[in-house]
Amino acid sequence: MYKARHAWGFLAIPLILLSLFTFIPAVAAFVLSFTNYNVFTPIEFLGLENYIKAFQDKSFQKAIVNTFYYWILVTPALVVLPIFVAILVNQKLRGIKVFRLIYYFPVLVSVVITAILWKWMFAKEGIVNYILSFFGVEPFGWLLDTATVMPALAFVTIWQGFGYYMLFYLAALQGVPKDLYEAAELDGANFWKKHLHITIPMIKPMIFFVAVISTMGAFKEFTLMLTMTDGGPLNASTTVVLLVFQEAFQNLDMGYASAISFILFAVILIITLINQRLLDKRD
Amino acid sequence: MSHSIAANPSKDGNKRRKVFNKLISYFFLLLLTCVTIVPFLWTVSISLKGQNDVIFSIPPQFIPNTFTLDNFITVWNTLPIPRYLLNTVILTFFGVVLPLILCSFAAYPLARMKFKGMNIIFLLIIATMMIPGEVTMIPVYLVIDKLGLMGTYTGIIITSAITPLGIFLMRQGFQEIPKEIEESAVIDGANVWQIFWKLMFPMVKPMLGVLAILCFISSWNNFLWPLLILDDPNMYPITLGLYQLQGAFSANTRLIAAGALIALLPVIIVFVMFQRYFIEAAYSSSVKG
């Protein structure tokens, strides 16, 4: 009943737009990375020059270290903490749905507003320092110190993201048969034993999935840094993509920025492939 | 006999343990709630403070001495907040409606028809789902520039008018419809265009809802593309407006707090109204992994 011209009729506009804003840019990003494109001077091919420059560039090295540091701070927390939260909100308690909605809400808040709220929270005379003062910590400017800026940004990411992963785990938990827990309780298993021996093995695929998703998210993050610290102080919070953004749109060195973003893409691709390997092994 | 005696204490113990569990659970639930909402509550507190109230102090002053709505009135009247909101509504409207239609256009033949080249197109779409937007950001910017769309809303809307994820989701929606439905429509003499609009499109409503929520979140919060594309402050959406305000008026914390809350309010309203769909959308967006 359908003819080929029907299919192409529907696909025409979508394919034009996809070509312009997805297919061609993907190829163009790769091509640009071998050029000196900077908007003003004529385009010239440089071969591997941009890539060589990247690996000698101190600020790129720093950005890589920063990105890995941010990833180590964020991903383990976002993999583990939401499991506990999901177990917590998976109980039949009065008002539990309201708690789920509250925890999820920060996911919907624009990065600009998140940045505003948390700049004030982390201010020298802000709430974070007030709470820490009970533990005898002297107040200081979290976002103004090269040693504390990344942990502070990581905390904001965890604050904003734990409700998102909580939902994923919640879906996984609802697939765990209840009689497993009942049997364990009869055997006298406590909270930790029950979840260590039943929950964790049962939701393992989801734990894996969350680890991958949050890893990708961590490697790509830059709008939080752009809005909260602009990469400062002293580039201590400049991530790889923030460097791409700065090189491309502030220094207009788009060829070099493309090379950096392709190195990042290679890293993300490797992570995806390792992930697929591990998943295949499981099956 | 001995059975009943033995059962009672354990039942008691069970009950006590249940109450204890409940208390512990609520303790953690409330603790997490505090961590989640304190930044918002503090912003509310700041926005209600008068000129004589201290904003930053240890210990902090949560309850203002003089409650005032002046900050909201000032922000509304002196800064272009209503204008920003209107701009955001316009951008969000197209940012939701266009992907719903265009992703369905692309997904419908991929899900229901067989034609030469179909597999290649589907593979291309799936492959590009793996490429992060951060990698293609520069060429997309250059394409918008070459098309002469710098400084226009079209430039912002068009970048997100169709997404591989949206096509993927809608394709799943169309695949779930039983085959007999189209066949009976053909017998009734409907053409393909009519079958799509009158029959198929209404049947994928649940998936359209999911996609609409995802597009709403990303359009309302879109900040990067307006920052890169727009240069006329009168055209700024609220996120970009706030970003510029906090740079320009960094001294006036009270006004920024009020502005941030005005920007948050529509999100809260939509979230409370469509909470079920939001949760569903979060699950569905996870399939791309």
The model's pLDDT over B60-97, given as tens digits with 9 standing for 90+, comes to 888 888 888 888 998 888 778 889 999 999 999 999 99
pLDDT given at position A59: 94
Nearest-Cα distance to chain A for B94, in Å, is 15
Contact between A259 and A51 (Cβ < 8 Å): yes
Lowest-confidence segment of A234-238, B4-8, B143-147 by average pLDDT: B4-8
Q: Collect all residues of chain A within an 8 Å Cβ-Cβ radius of residue B132.
A: 216, 220, 265, 268
**Same domain, yes or no: B64 and B90:** no
Q: Specify the pLDDT at position B182.
A: 83
B117 and B250 part of one domain: yes
Q: Which residues on chain A are in Cβ contact (under 8 Å) with B115?
A: 2, 4, 7-8
Nearest CB neighbour to A126, from listed B56, B108, B136: B56
Residues B57 and B61: their CA atoms lie apart, in Å, by 7
Asked whether the beta carbons of residue B106 and residue A10 sit closer than 8 angstroms, the reply is: yes
Average pLDDT, chain B: 87
Averaged confidence pLDDT in chain A: 91
Q: Kindly state whether residues B62 and B83 are assigned to the same domain.
A: no
How far apart CA B198 and CA B191 sit, in angstroms, is 10
Ordered DSSP codes for B59-88: S---S-SSB--HHHHHHHHHS-HHHHHHHH
Q: Could you tell me if B226 and B85 lie in one domain?
A: yes
> Are B283 and B194 members of one domain?
yes
Statement: residue A205 has pLDDT above 90: no
Domain tally for chain B? 2
Clarify whether residues B61 and B132 are in a common domain. no
Give the H or E element holding residue A19.
none
| pLDDT over 50 at B2, yes or no | no
**Which two structure tokens, joined as six digits, stand for A106?**
């920060």
**pLDDT computed for residue A120 by the predictor:** 92
Those residues whose C-beta lies under 8 Å from the C-beta of residue B232, and which sit 6 or more positions away, are: B151
Q: How does pLDDT run across A19-63, given as a tens digit for each residue?
A: 999 999 999 999 999 999 887 888 889 889 999 999 999 999 999
CA distances from B195 to A218, B15, B126, B255 (A): 44, 60, 27, 53
Distance CA A133, CA A148 (A): 16
Mean pLDDT over B197-201 rounds to 90
Write out chain B residues lying below 8 Å of A17, CB-based.
102, 158, 161-162
What residue has token string 């709403």? B216
- Report the predicted TM-score, pTM, of the whole model to 2 decimal places: 0.90
The runs of H, that is alpha helices, within chain A are: 4-18, 24-32, 49-56, 58-89, 96-104, 111-121, 127-133, 149-173, 178-186, 191-194, 200-202, 204-220, 223-228, 240-245, 254-282
- Mean pLDDT throughout A235-257? 94
The crossing angle, in degrees rounded to 10, of helices B253-273 and B2-47 is 130
Confidence (pLDDT) at B1: 38
Q: For residue B102, which amino acid is it?
A: L
- Residue carrying the six token digits 């409370």: B272
Structure-block tokens of residue A122: 């982390």
CATH code assigned to A56-282: 1.10.3720.10
| Overall size of chain A counted in residues | 283
Residue B177 identity (one-letter amino acid): I
Count the alpha carbons within 13 Å of A162 in the hemisphere toward its beta carbon.
25
Residue bearing the bigger pLDDT, B44 or A278: B44
Residues of B in contact with A139 (CB under 8 A): 58
Residues ≥6 apart with Cβ < 8 Å to B207: B169, B170, B172, B173, B284
Least confident range from A139-148, A203-212, B166-175: namely: A203-212
Give CB contacts under 8 A, 24+ apart, made by A194-200. Answer: A195/A87, A199/A83, A199/A87, A199/A173, A200/A83
pLDDT in tens, B126-137: 888 888 888 899
C-alpha to C-alpha distance for A141 and A168, rounded to whole angstroms: 35
Summarize pLDDT for B137-149 with one digit per residue, the tens.
999 999 999 999 9
Chain A: closest CA distance from residue B1 (Å):
22
Note whether B151 and B229 are within 8 A (CB).
yes
| Proportion of chain A above pLDDT 90, given as a percent | 64
Using the Cα atoms of residue A11, residue A17, residue A21 and residue A24 in order, give the sign of their dihedral. positive
What CATH number did the domain enclosing B241 receive? 1.10.3720.10
When CB atoms are compared, the residue of B140, B267, B268 closest to A21 is B140
The domain of B44 spans: 2-68
Band the pLDDT of B251: cuts 50, 70, 90. low
Closest approach of chain B CAs to the CA of A149, in angstroms? 18
The predicted model gives A233-250 an average pLDDT of: 94
Residue-level length of chain B: 289
Closest residue to B105, CB basis, from A13, A91, A258? A13
Rounded distance, CA B128 to CA A14, Å? 14
Q: Across the interface, do A17 and B38 touch by the CB < 8 Å criterion? A: no
DSSP A139: P
Residue percentage of chain B with pLDDT more than 90: 46
Distance from C-alpha of A165 to C-alpha of A168, rounded to nearest angstrom: 5
Report yes or no: B142 and A39 within 8 Å, Cβ to Cβ.
Answer: no
